[in-house]
């Protein structure tokens, strides 16, 4: 903020001036001087302090005149009609030296900002490095500085500063990003939300860091792109630091825009490419574009790919900063992986050059990481073509949705296990699911209802156990002869041959459609309640 007459009035108001006259309040004040008795020339950018040596009517008014005086001076009504006069009047017993010091402090603060602004402008216009800007920021603030992007990755930090007793600083300076534990500590303390909602730099202290910080968000086009932090390590903070931090944020923003966000934007090139593919924006006939984007992602032409969509809504606060930080943590678990925050989920792209690789080890790592955190994931089938990514993204989304509906205590859902339910879901969109079920199954369920038998359960278990008599009997805890009798009776009631593979497939699909209806039991179903509830 420039020091104009309006600003000085706000500084001096707590001292309770008698009168204030503002005609040209936006005039910039560069200095403050005491008037001498013989003075006849006055500058429009100077605030003059008078102690009863002059008569206002004798002052020249060709330019704007800024004057601070005591009420011992006779101030007349017509003086306030003068449109070239800015005037503040205090009681004669006011401490004039205190007033002078307050004004001088404001002017020195402005001069300090001008001094550092000039230095930063020189760096920006002469192609100095981003590190040079960070180093000058540290020199200006007298304390070390770090800048992180929206994923918690360090994109700039004061070099050669060891703060051995501050864990977060050590993480940023050594491994280049905040750890999961530090991320969760910040999340619990609501720091991410405070940074996102802040309009100005603020001081932060908590039990997880030894030294206080000044935090300020970095915005590009009104979108948060990162966070600047100053550590109170070399000297204590003072009130002038806030304006200096704001200046440094402005300079960093200019530098990031100048570099077109290549390294520092809230969304990287990899993320932008992933979004194009998973949203279906890239057309299959754009072979050259697809190949260029594959190279940009540094994926081998024969790489096996797999998409995993992760729901962390119950583990983090939902802010963009929290989602991006968690996304970066997950990405760092796997070599050459890519992640993107998309539609409120984190989507992870895994790839491997190994033939017939199925990412079992990666899923085990994720399962261990998810444990106890209420994090859930849907996993697509493996694929090779980037142009198939949208289809496989939808597989991961559907596996996540259907898996959470089943709520069977697991955290990772493979689309392979839920594909048949996806078919049932597609059928349900075309009307009554019952019309897709084999009619003989409804006959069997009606028989069970009226005769208090469990033939439907027996048939389901028999099909689910691949028609193995031994496995099915053990699953039902019955004798094999009892099972053979039930199978014969089932065939009679349904009037079907269970040795017919086509009939078995239709019955299997029918059971899966009923299971899908059970998953959506809260929605009004077209099937009778006993058809949904009594077989399983």
pLDDT of residue 69: 85
Is 328 within 8 Å of 341 (Cβ atoms)?
no
How are the residues of the chain apportioned to helix, strand and coil, as percentages rounded to the nearest 5?
50, 15, 35
- Cα–Cα distance between 463 and 447 in angstroms, integer? 19
Q: What is the mean pLDDT of the chain?
A: 84
Confidence band of 193 (pLDDT split at 50, 70, 90): confident
Q: What is the pLDDT of residues 262-271, one digit of tens each?
A: 444 445 667 8
Give the residue-averaged pLDDT of 393-418.
86
pLDDT of residue 20: 87
Please determine, for residue 34, whether its predicted confidence score (pLDDT) is greater than 80: yes
Looking at beta carbons, which pairs linking 9-13 to residues 24 or more positions away fall under 8 Å?
9/88, 11/102, 11/103, 11/106, 12/68, 12/88, 12/99, 12/102, 12/103
Q: Output the DSSP codes for 332-382.
A: TTSTT-EEEEETTEEEEEEEE-STT---HHHHHHHHHHHTTTT-EEEEPPP
Please determine, for residue 506, whether its predicted confidence score (pLDDT) is greater than 80: yes
- Cα–Cα distance between 166 and 267 in angstroms, integer? 29
Other residues' Cβ atoms within 10 Å of the Cβ of residue 352: 20
pLDDT of residue 264: 42
Please give the DSSP secondary-structure letter assigned to residue 36: P
pLDDT of residue 82: 60
134-138, 217-221, 516-520: segment of lowest average pLDDT: 516-520
All domains in the chain, ordered by first residue: 5-105 (3.40.1390), 130-258 (3.30.450.40), 269-422 (3.30.70), 433-533 (no CATH)
pLDDT of residue 527: 40
Is 147 within 8 Å of 212 (Cβ atoms)?
no
Scored b (16 or more CB within 10 A) or e, 211-226 reads: bbbbbbbbebeeebbb
Is 421 within 8 Å of 512 (Cβ atoms)?
yes
Give the residue-averaged pLDDT of 423-441.
71
Give the residue-averaged pLDDT of 241-258.
90
Please determine, for residue 476, whether its predicted confidence score (pLDDT) is greater than 90: yes
Please write down the HEC assignment for all residues of 146-159. EEEECCCEEEEECC
- Distance in angstroms between the alpha carbons of the first and the last residue of the chain: 72
pLDDT of residue 266: 45
Model-level pTM? 0.58
- Cα–Cα distance between 527 and 403 in angstroms, integer? 22
Q: What is the pLDDT of residues 343-393, one digit of tens each?
A: 999 999 999 988 778 899 999 999 999 988 889 999 999 999 999 999 999
Is 353 within 8 Å of 368 (Cβ atoms)?
no
Please determine, for residue 536, whether its predicted confidence score (pLDDT) is greater than 80: no
> Residue 49 contacts by C-beta under 8 Å, 6 or more apart in sequence?
32, 33, 34, 35, 67, 68, 69, 96, 99, 100
Please give the DSSP secondary-structure letter assigned to residue 137: H
pLDDT of residue 430: 56
- Please classify residue 430 by burial: count the beta carbons closer than 10 Å to its beta carbon, then call 0-12 exposed, 13-18 middle and 19+ buried: exposed
Please determine, for residue 408, whether its predicted confidence score (pLDDT) is greater than 70: no
Give me the helix-helix angle, 469-476 and 480-494, nearest 10°.
100
Q: Is the CA virtual torsion 409, 410, 413, 418 positive or negative? A: negative
Tell me the β-bridge partners of 177. 153
Highest mean pLDDT among 66-70, 466-470, 504-508: 466-470
Number of H helices, E strands in the chain: 19, 15
Give the residue-averaged pLDDT of 130-150.
94
- Cα–Cα distance between 309 and 403 in angstroms, integer? 12
- Please classify residue 45 by burial: count the beta carbons closer than 10 Å to its beta carbon, then call 0-12 exposed, 13-18 middle and 19+ buried: middle
- Cα–Cα distance between 417 and 396 in angstroms, integer? 11
- Please classify residue 492 by burial: count the beta carbons closer than 10 Å to its beta carbon, then call 0-12 exposed, 13-18 middle and 19+ buried: exposed
Give the residue-averaged pLDDT of 509-534.
59
């Amino acid at each position: 903020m420039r020091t104009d007459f309006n600003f000085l009035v706000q500084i001096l108001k707590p001292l309770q001036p008698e009168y204030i006259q503002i005609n040209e309040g936006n005039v910039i004040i560069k200095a403050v001087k005491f008037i001498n008795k013989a003075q006849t020339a006055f500058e429009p950018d100077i605030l003059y302090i008078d102690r009863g040596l002059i008569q206002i009517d004798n002052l020249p008014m060709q330019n704007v005149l800024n004057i601070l005086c005591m009420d011992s001076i006779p101030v007349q009504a017509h003086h306030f009609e003068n449109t070239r006069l800015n005037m503040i009047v205090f009681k004669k017993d006011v401490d004039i030296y205190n007033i002078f010091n307050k004004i001088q402090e404001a002017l020195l603060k402005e001069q300090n900002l001008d001094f550092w602004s000039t230095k930063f402008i020189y760096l920006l216009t002469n192609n100095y490095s981003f590190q040079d800007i960070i180093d000058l920021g540290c020199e200006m603030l007298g304390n070390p500085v770090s800048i992180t992007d929206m994923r918690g990755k360090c994109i700039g930090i004061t070099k050669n500063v060891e703060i051995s007793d501050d864990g977060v600083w050590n993480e940023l300076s050594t491994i280049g990003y905040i750890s999961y534990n530090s991320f969760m500590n910040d999340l619990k303390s609501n720091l991410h939300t405070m940074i996102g909602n802040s309009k100005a730099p603020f001081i932060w202290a908590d039990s997880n860091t030894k030294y206080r910080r000044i935090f300020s968000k970095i915005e590009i086009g009104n979108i948060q792109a990162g966070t600047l932090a100053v550590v109170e390590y070399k000297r204590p903070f003072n009130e002038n630091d806030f304006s200096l931090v704001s200046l440094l944020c402005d300079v960093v923003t200019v530098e990031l825009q100048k570099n077109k966000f290549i390294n520092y934007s809230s969304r990287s090139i990899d993320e932008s490419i992933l979004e194009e593919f998973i949203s279906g924006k890239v057309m299959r006939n754009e072979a050259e574009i697809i190949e260029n984007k594959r190279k940009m992602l540094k994926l081998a032409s024969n790489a096996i790919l797999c998409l995993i969509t992760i729901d962390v809504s119950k583990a983090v606060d939902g802010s963009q900063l929290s989602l991006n930080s968690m996304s970066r943590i997950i990405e760092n678990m796997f070599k050459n992986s890519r992640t993107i925050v998309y539609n409120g989920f984190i989507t992870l792209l895994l790839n491997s050059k190994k033939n017939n690789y199925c990412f079992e080890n990666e899923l085990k790592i994720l399962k261990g990481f998810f444990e106890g955190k209420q994090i859930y994931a849907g996993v697509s089938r493996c694929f090779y073509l980037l142009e198939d990514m949208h289809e496989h993204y939808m597989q991961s989304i559907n596996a996540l949705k259907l898996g959470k509906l089943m709520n069977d205590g697991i955290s990772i859902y493979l689309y392979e296990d839920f594909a048949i339910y996806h078919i049932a879901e597609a059928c349900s969109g075309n009307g009554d699911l019952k019309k897709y079920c084999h009619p003989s199954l409804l006959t069997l369920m009606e028989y069970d209802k009226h005769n208090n038998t469990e033939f439907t359960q027996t048939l389901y278990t028999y099909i689910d156990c691949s028609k193995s008599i031994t496995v099915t009997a053990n699953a039902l805890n019955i004798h094999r002869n009892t099972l053979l009798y039930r199978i014969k009776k089932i065939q009679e009631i349904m009037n079907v041959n269970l040795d017919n593979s086509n009939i078995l497939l239709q019955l299997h699909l029918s059971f899966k459609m009923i299971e899908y209806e059970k998953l959506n039991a809260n929605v009004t179903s077209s099937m009778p309640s006993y058809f949904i509830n009594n077989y399983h």
